[in-house]
Structure 1
Amino acid sequence: MNEEFTNHADTWYRQAEQKAAQYFADLATQVKEQSYAPALIKDLQGWKRNHVHRFAWLSFLSQGKKKPDSRDYHRYIDWLNYTGKLDDYLDRSISYIYMRDLGKTLGSSDTRQRIQSVVTDVKRFLTRSTKVSGGKQPEYMSLAGLYRWAQKEHIESAVIWVIDKLKGVSSNIPEQMNAEHAQRKLIKIIVGVVLHAIEEMGDSALPAERAQRLDEAIRHGYSYGLTYPYIDDLLDSGVLNAGEKEQYSQMIRTALLTGTVPELGEWSGDNQEMIQYIHAELREAFEYIKDYQQPDTKGMFFEQSYVFFHAQDMDRKKNLAHAHYSNEELYLPVILKSSSSRLIVRSVISAPRDEGFDRRTFFYGIYNQLADDFADMFDDLSEGTVTPYTYYLQYRDQRTDLINPFELYWTVISYLIHQVYQSDAKTTEVILDRAINGLKRCKERLGTEKYHELMGIFASGHTEFSRLMEWMVRKADDVDFFDKLLRDHMVTMLKNDAKEKEEFLATVKTVRQQINDQLQIAKPDGIPAMKETLIDAANYSLKGDGKRIRPILTWVMGVNEYGLEPSAIVPLLKSLEYMHTASLIFDDLPSQDNASTRRGRPTLHQVHNSATAELTGLFLIQKAIEEQASLESFDAKTVLALMQYSAQKAEDTCMGQAMDLQAKGKALTLNELNMICFYKTGVAFEASLVMPAILARVNGQEIASLKQFAYHAGIAFQIKDDLLDSEGDVILLGKPTGQDDLNNNSTFVSILGREGARKAMWEHYCQAMETLDSLPRNTAFLKHLMNYMVNRDR
């Protein structure tokens, strides 16, 4: 370890600690003397004029539109707009973000103008978005909405990169940790860094510069945000044992002291595979941030990062069973980690040093941390985590010297209002809004009885202030914030998404097994030997590890959406897989693609011979027709319409394969490739959706939407196949990679390059997802099917 860095680190932390100690001493004096209370009483008395209404006159104007729960995103935004409250709601919300996240002072006329501009833009977007979405997930919270924004800003590559990275993190969060919390925190940090970058460059940046800065901000946000799930949360969890935690902490400390992430080396615990992944990701992230730093910001980055890590580490090592921590030991790390975590963002994006920003951020951090610790108090207590609140709960009766953290929280508020922001009216308004809102949310979460019990413990020693504050919590209105609404909605969305994904995977697994159980073709007694050979060959091909996407899709749409009897459509499911398997047998022949493996096993012509393979393909096509003809639960006219449609789609598939064969070794245009792809792949998806719709006699407009969805889904699926052939894992794929290059075939990768192919895939993904909005049905399964298509690794 470099001794010079070590000495610097000691100096960095000692200086920061001295500054924090002086700040804490000022706060402690105000708590002891209760000097914070008179000023806050005066502030609250003035504040209540805008938030406690003597007469509910607004109710007469909005009797037909009752105030909805604030967690109901769409209805709440609509209600705010209807009642004329949306402007004030957004103004305090955006003002708070500018003060908390961007370190701005609200007393600045430039900042106020900027906030008003953002409020106008956000209001216009929200009112349009809630009308367009019709109560569904907000477009900007969807992958499709995110990618559309990326296209507008010309940063598609960065967004595709971060989507892939977030998928990797989600797949590698240990079961003992909260994956939803990790995702939410990571997304929040990325958004925060992007906001910093946008504010830093202002409105004067040229489009090319803006795109570059946003691209960098997304990558920096992820790189910095990765430390939360993979350092803070991991070390706070019970995933690693004591020895592993020490080894891991030492590795992080070494990286911050030397500027280089050390090799992982021998790992003493049971989590080696997980740690190898995390180590590789953190090293990449660390190097990205470090290499971007300018000489005048690199020192600030390492200084704030070390202060943050060391303060966190000190807090983490505290034990709730230890009864003798001093107030300084409890609060100084809180001040340091809360301020340095925000100061790091400035250094991450290499923003120039701003003493006003640094000062405000240093004093502001503990306010947020104390609010967060208050909200998480009972979770922290159950986990044995030491925070000022959990420690006070544990030892308040034994230690009269302990400072009441809730009283300190209000002291910090008074300090910020009067000594940091110079009693600015707007700042006072926003900070008090936020404080009262936090208590109202706490009361709603805990219930009135438990909340009052908690306030009995933490109430300020200043009786008049405590009574006034509690009166405000009961009576005050219009104190909620957009970021809390987004947080609540994101929590709900992530939970719903996880539940839907579980249901999607469970449905796929269950239906796939049901289909597999019925696919095998029986061999009646006394059949000729040659037919027995064909049946064996067909069953060999059917038995492979197929995904069965097409019949699964048909089952879901037919049974779940159209209400068809599962047993009634079994022949249709079998026919789809027979047709698909036949097409694969023909595809693999030496005269066509000449593939050696399929579904993880040798292709049929390798096991038998080409003639047997050809005949088996024809045999399966006839079996498919036979199955369709046995759809006895539906009237003959409907079945004939289905069979006619099926024959047309089979013709289209043959044409697509012929076009593909003719194109081998030739350079194709993108339009030509799209056409071949649709006829080879898209029509099969279309058939899977349209055939159950025909049986259910769905109207023509809905069938047209299904066809449009299938077109884009099919092309997205094929692009992903081309990407996997170019860069996939042969073991996961179950077939050789690089075959397209070997055969000199035109693919989306060869025409567009890997980056261009990814962009094209996401464009078709967006168009497919946007088409789903026009369907009058539950499209959760189709949404997750699209997500599976573009995120699969086989």
Structure 2
Amino acid sequence: MNEEIQINANASYRRAEQKANHYFKKLHEQVKKKTYVPILTKDIQSWKHNHIHYHSLLSLFSRKKGNANSLEYKSYIQWLEHTGKLNNYLDRSISYIFMRDLGKSLHSSNTQTRIKTIVNSLKRQLTDSAGTTNELYSLTWLYRRGQKEGIESTIIWLINKLKEISSNIPKGMDATHAKRKIIKIIAGVVMNEIEEMNGQVSPKARAQKLDRAIRLGYSYGLTYPFIDDLLDAKILSEKEEKAFTEWIRTSLVTGKVPKLGEWAGKNRELIRYIHRELKDAFEYMKSQQKEETRQYFFEQAFVFYHSQEVDRARDLSYGHYTNEELYIPVILKSSSSRLIVRSLINADENKEIDNRTFYYGIYNQLADDFADMFEDLKDEAVTPYTYYMKYHDKRTDLINPFELYWTVISNLIHHVYHSDKKSREVILDRAINGLKRFKERMGARKYDEVMGLFASGNPEFNRLIQKMVRKADDVDFFDKLLRDHMITNLNNDGIEKEDFLNTIEIVRDQINRILFIPKNEKNPLMKDTIIEAANYSLEGDGKRLRPIMTWVMGVNEYGIDQSAMEPLLKSLEYMHTASLIFDDLPSQDNASIRRGRPTLHEVYNIAIAELTGLFLTQRATREQASLEQFDSKAVLNMIRYSSKITEDMCKGQAMDLNSKGKQLTLEQLNTMCFYKTGIGFEAALIMPAILANAGKLEMDALRKYAYHAGIAFQIKDDLLDVEGDLNLLGKQTGKDAENNNSTFVTVLGFEGAEKAMWEHYCQAMEALQGGPRKVVFLKHLMDYIVHRDR
């Protein structure tokens, strides 16, 4: 390691530490003199007139409907709009973000104009989304937003990266928290980039800058799960942690990522993955820095990392930390985490913004530490609150962090934002909202205990604060609502996905048990070669997606008895397997491997394969005709529909054969793909719907979903044929190129095919959301289709 660079890194930390120490002494002096009390008392007395209202009985009843914690996300937005509160709600929310994340002064007319523009745009999105099919901040919404900005490929890249992270987060860490944190960091970087652009760039340049901001935000965001959260989770052994932290430190002080080398420890594969991801992120961030500002970026990064390390190294059982040791790392890590963002995007130097960001950080950190104090105490983490809780009765010199919190607020309002009325409004809104949320989460009794411990030495001021917590309203914020909504959605998504995978596993096993066709025992002279061949094809490692979809719709959605559905389930898999047998023949695709085994004509011969395909098709019709527990007219309609589907599948295969060696248009490819693949998905959904006498609106939504799901499935197949793993796919890759077939990749290119797949994903999801029945299974089926590796 270069000693000179190491000294420079330490010197940069000392400079930051001196600035933090100066700030802390200023705050400490105000705490001792309690100067914040008369100042904030006056501020709150003025502020409360906008937040304590006296209501009639009718309005009190209506107010209860507006509790953000008791209403769904969309319903709450609708309620705010209906009561005329939405504008102010969004204004204070965006104003807060401009202060916290962008270091802006609300006194500026330019800032106010920007806030108003964003509020109007966000309001349109929120009120429109209440009536549209796209869930706000869902993958569909995210991709649609990317399309508007011309950065679809960036969004696809990000979606794939977030999925990869989720699958690599080890036990003992929170994957939901990791994804949310990364998304939050990306949003912060993108906001800074947009403000730096100031609307004065071309659409092409804007797309390039947004692409860069998203990748930078992701790269920076990775440090939270793969450094901070990893080390906090105590997953690494002591020896591994020492090697890991030394590796991070070396990277920051030298500007070069050292090779990992041999890793001694049980977490070798995890560390290899993290090393690769962090190295790529580090190199990308470094490559995007201007040469003249690169040193400043590394200094800020080092200050942030080192302050986190100092903070993490403290031991709650040690009772002799000074106030400076407790608070200065907090000031440094809370301010440098956001100062990094401006250096990350090469923003022009602005000392006013940097100073506001520096002074603001501890306010946000103390609020977060207050909210998390009991979780931190359980983890034996040292924060100003946990340390005060443990040692306040033994250490009279300890600063009460709650008093320091109000001191910071007073200092921000009057010394950083120069008594600006709107800044005061937003900061006090946020402070009271934080206490209200804590009280709701912990309960009144626990809250009163906490306040009894942390209340300042001025009873009158304490009573005023608690009165505001009890009575003040219109203090909630959109980012908190969005955070809660995102966490709920991510958690629900995880539960739903697990249920989806369990359903597939359980139903697939049930279907596999009923597919076997018994031999003809009545005529022992007749060799059952066809039945043996059919069972060979059925025994392959098939996904069984189509009968599983039918089972879910029939049993879960329409309440049909499971045993009554069995003939239909068998018929669907017989039809699908027959289509694969024909598809693999030398006269068609000439495939030698299917479902991880030799194809049927390779094991037997072409004639037997052809007869087996015909046999399974007829067997499927026979199974459908045995659906005795349903209305005969419905069964007849279903068989008629099934026959038409089989005809169309044959047409689709004929189209495929006629297209070999020809360059197809996208329209021709979509049509052929639907007849080959999408129509099978449609049958799986429509056939149980016919038996259940579903309405036309539902049938139309299911048909539209199936159309786009089928094409998305085929596009994914085409993508896997180019880059898939033979061992995972169970069939040869590169067959399309070998047969000179037109595919979505050959017509659109790999990147274009990915975009087309996501377009069909969005249209399928929109069809599902627009229909009368929101089938959760089908939502996760689309996620499976676009993310599968086989």
Same fold by TM-score greater than 0.5: yes
Match of 2:373 among 374, 377, 387: 377
Task: Check whether the contact 2:66–2:80 (CA below 8 A) recurs between aligned residues.
Answer: no
Match of 2:615 among 611, 615, 619: 619
Q: Which amino acid aligns with 1:3?
A: E
Match of 2:661 among 659, 665, 668: 665
Q: Give me the whole-angstrom Cα distance separating, in 2, the residues matched to 1:700 and 1:48.
A: 55
Identify the residue that residue 55 of structure 2 maps to in structure 1.
56
1:573 equivalenced with 2:569 (yes/no): yes
Gap change, CA 1:529 and 1:576, over 3 Å in 2:
farther
Deviations 1:299-356 (A, max 9, x none): 2211111100001011111111111111111111111111000011111111111101
Q: Cα distance, 1:548 vs. partner?
A: 0.6
Instruction: Please tell me the root mean square deviation across aligned C-alpha atoms, in Å.
Output: 1.4
Match of 2:447 among 421, 445, 451: 451
Deviations 1:384-405 (A, max 9, x none): 1111111111111111111111
Q: Which amino acid aligns with 2:353?
A: F
Q: Give me the whole-angstrom Cα distance separating, in 2, the residues matched to 1:201 and 1:778.
A: 40
Q: Give me the whole-angstrom Cα distance separating, in 1, the residues matched to 2:174 and 2:615.
A: 51
Identify the residue that residue 84 of structure 1 maps to in structure 2.
84
Match of 1:222 among 214, 218, 224: 218
1:325 equivalenced with 2:324 (yes/no): no
Secondary structure, aligned partner of 1:478: coil
Task: Check whether the contact 1:190–1:217 (CA below 8 A) recurs between aligned residues.
Answer: yes
1:680 equivalenced with 2:676 (yes/no): yes
Q: Give me the whole-angstrom Cα distance separating, in 1, the residues matched to 2:570 and 2:79.
A: 50
Q: Cα distance, 1:112 vs. partner?
A: 1.0
Q: Cα distance, 1:22 vs. partner?
A: 0.7
Secondary structure, aligned partner of 1:385: coil
Q: Cα distance, 1:60 vs. partner?
A: 4.2
1:664-743 equivalences in 2 (<5 Å): 664-743=660-739
Task: Check whether the contact 1:551–1:577 (CA below 8 A) recurs between aligned residues.
Answer: yes
1:11 equivalenced with 2:2 (yes/no): no
Q: Cα distance, 1:531 vs. partner?
A: 4.3
Secondary structure, aligned partner of 1:214: helix
Q: Which amino acid aligns with 2:379?
A: E
1:286 equivalenced with 2:282 (yes/no): yes
Gap change, CA 1:690 and 1:142, over 3 Å in 2:
same
Match of 1:67 among 62, 65, 68: 65
Q: Structure 1 segments of 4 or more deviating over 6 A?
A: none
Gap change, CA 1:88 and 1:733, over 3 Å in 2:
same
Identify the residue that residue 462 of structure 1 maps to in structure 2.
458
Task: Check whether the contact 1:62–1:83 (CA below 8 A) recurs between aligned residues.
Answer: no
Task: Check whether the contact 2:584–2:591 (CA below 8 A) recurs between aligned residues.
Answer: yes
Secondary structure, aligned partner of 2:616: helix
Gap change, CA 1:218 and 1:668, over 3 Å in 2:
same
1:352 equivalenced with 2:351 (yes/no): no
Match of 2:579 among 579, 583, 597: 583
Identify the residue that residue 301 of structure 1 maps to in structure 2.
297
Q: Give me the whole-angstrom Cα distance separating, in 2, the residues matched to 1:603 and 1:438.
A: 64
Identify the residue that residue 115 of structure 1 maps to in structure 2.
115
Deviations 1:255-282 (A, max 9, x none): 1111121111111111111111111111
List alignment gaps of at least 5 residues for structure 1: none
Q: Cα distance, 1:66 vs. partner?
A: 4.6
Q: Give me the whole-angstrom Cα distance separating, in 2, the residues matched to 1:49 and 1:69.
A: 20
1:642 equivalenced with 2:642 (yes/no): no
Q: Cα distance, 1:596 vs. partner?
A: 1.5
Identify the residue that residue 397 of structure 1 maps to in structure 2.
393
Gap change, CA 1:566 and 1:65, over 3 Å in 2:
farther
Task: Check whether the contact 2:516–2:538 (CA below 8 A) recurs between aligned residues.
Answer: yes
Identify the residue that residue 777 of structure 1 maps to in structure 2.
773
1:656 equivalenced with 2:655 (yes/no): no
Identify the residue that residue 435 of structure 1 maps to in structure 2.
431
Q: Give me the whole-angstrom Cα distance separating, in 1, the residues matched to 2:33 and 2:590.
A: 86
Secondary structure, aligned partner of 2:770: coil
Identify the residue that residue 477 of structure 1 maps to in structure 2.
473
Q: Give me the whole-angstrom Cα distance separating, in 2, the residues matched to 1:699 and 1:63.
A: 39
Q: Give me the whole-angstrom Cα distance separating, in 2, the residues matched to 1:125 and 1:2.
A: 52
Q: Give me the whole-angstrom Cα distance separating, in 1, the residues matched to 2:63 and 2:125.
A: 22
Identify the residue that residue 600 of structure 1 maps to in structure 2.
596
Q: Cα distance, 1:365 vs. partner?
A: 0.5
1:47 equivalenced with 2:47 (yes/no): yes
Task: Check whether the contact 2:627–2:635 (CA below 8 A) recurs between aligned residues.
Answer: yes
Identify the residue that residue 27 of structure 1 maps to in structure 2.
27
Q: Give me the whole-angstrom Cα distance separating, in 2, the residues matched to 1:499 and 1:529.
A: 54
Q: Give me the whole-angstrom Cα distance separating, in 1, the residues matched to 2:152 and 2:527.
A: 54
Q: Which amino acid aligns with 2:87?
A: D
Task: Check whether the contact 1:297–1:352 (CA below 8 A) recurs between aligned residues.
Answer: no
Task: Check whether the contact 2:515–2:570 (CA below 8 A) recurs between aligned residues.
Answer: yes
Q: Which amino acid aligns with 2:623?
A: E
Secondary structure, aligned partner of 2:694: coil
TM-score relative to the length of structure 1: 0.97
Q: Which amino acid aligns with 1:93?
A: S
**Residues 701-710 or 308-317, more deviating:** 701-710
Q: Give me the whole-angstrom Cα distance separating, in 2, the residues matched to 1:31 and 1:236.
A: 31
Deviations 1:99-155 (A, max 9, x none): 11111001111111111121122222222222335xxxx633111111111111111
Q: Give me the whole-angstrom Cα distance separating, in 2, the residues matched to 1:605 and 1:712.
A: 32
Secondary structure, aligned partner of 1:350: coil
Match of 1:263 among 232, 242, 259: 259
TM-score relative to the length of structure 2: 0.98
Identify the residue that residue 208 of structure 2 maps to in structure 1.
212
Q: Cα distance, 1:52 vs. partner?
A: 1.4
1:158 equivalenced with 2:167 (yes/no): no
1:497 equivalenced with 2:493 (yes/no): yes
Task: Check whether the contact 2:705–2:768 (CA below 8 A) recurs between aligned residues.
Answer: yes
Deviations 1:35-55 (A, max 9, x none): 2211111111111111112x2
1:183 equivalenced with 2:152 (yes/no): no
Q: Which amino acid aligns with 1:108?
A: S
Secondary structure, aligned partner of 2:136: helix
Q: Cα distance, 1:528 vs. partner?
A: 4.7
Task: Check whether the contact 1:561–1:778 (CA below 8 A) recurs between aligned residues.
Answer: no
Q: Give me the whole-angstrom Cα distance separating, in 2, the residues matched to 1:350 and 1:2.
A: 26
1:132 equivalenced with 2:132 (yes/no): yes
Q: Which amino acid aligns with 2:111?
A: T
Q: Give me the whole-angstrom Cα distance separating, in 2, the residues matched to 1:491 and 1:122.
A: 20
Identify the residue that residue 2 of structure 2 maps to in structure 1.
2
List alignment gaps of at least 5 residues for structure 2: none
Q: Cα distance, 1:778 vs. partner?
A: 2.8
Q: Give me the whole-angstrom Cα distance separating, in 2, the residues matched to 1:683 and 1:148.
A: 26
**Residues 246-255 or 604-613, more deviating:** 604-613
Gap change, CA 1:211 and 1:780, over 3 Å in 2:
same
Deviations 1:690-746 (A, max 9, x none): 110111111223212211111111000000011111111221111221221122211
Task: Check whether the contact 2:135–2:141 (CA below 8 A) recurs between aligned residues.
Answer: yes
Identify the residue that residue 138 of structure 2 maps to in structure 1.
142
Task: Check whether the contact 2:768–2:774 (CA below 8 A) recurs between aligned residues.
Answer: no
Secondary structure, aligned partner of 1:319: coil
**Residues 609-618 or 511-520, more deviating:** 609-618
Q: Give me the whole-angstrom Cα distance separating, in 1, the residues matched to 2:566 and 2:220.
A: 51
Task: Check whether the contact 2:697–2:771 (CA below 8 A) recurs between aligned residues.
Answer: no
Secondary structure, aligned partner of 1:141: coil
Q: Give me the whole-angstrom Cα distance separating, in 1, the residues matched to 2:664 and 2:567.
A: 38
Task: Check whether the contact 1:713–1:786 (CA below 8 A) recurs between aligned residues.
Answer: yes
Q: Give me the whole-angstrom Cα distance separating, in 1, the residues matched to 2:562 and 2:66.
A: 40
Secondary structure, aligned partner of 2:682: helix
Deviations 1:164-220 (A, max 9, x none): 100101111112111111111111111111111111101222111111111111111
Q: Give me the whole-angstrom Cα distance separating, in 2, the residues matched to 1:56 and 1:332.
A: 45
Secondary structure, aligned partner of 2:543: coil
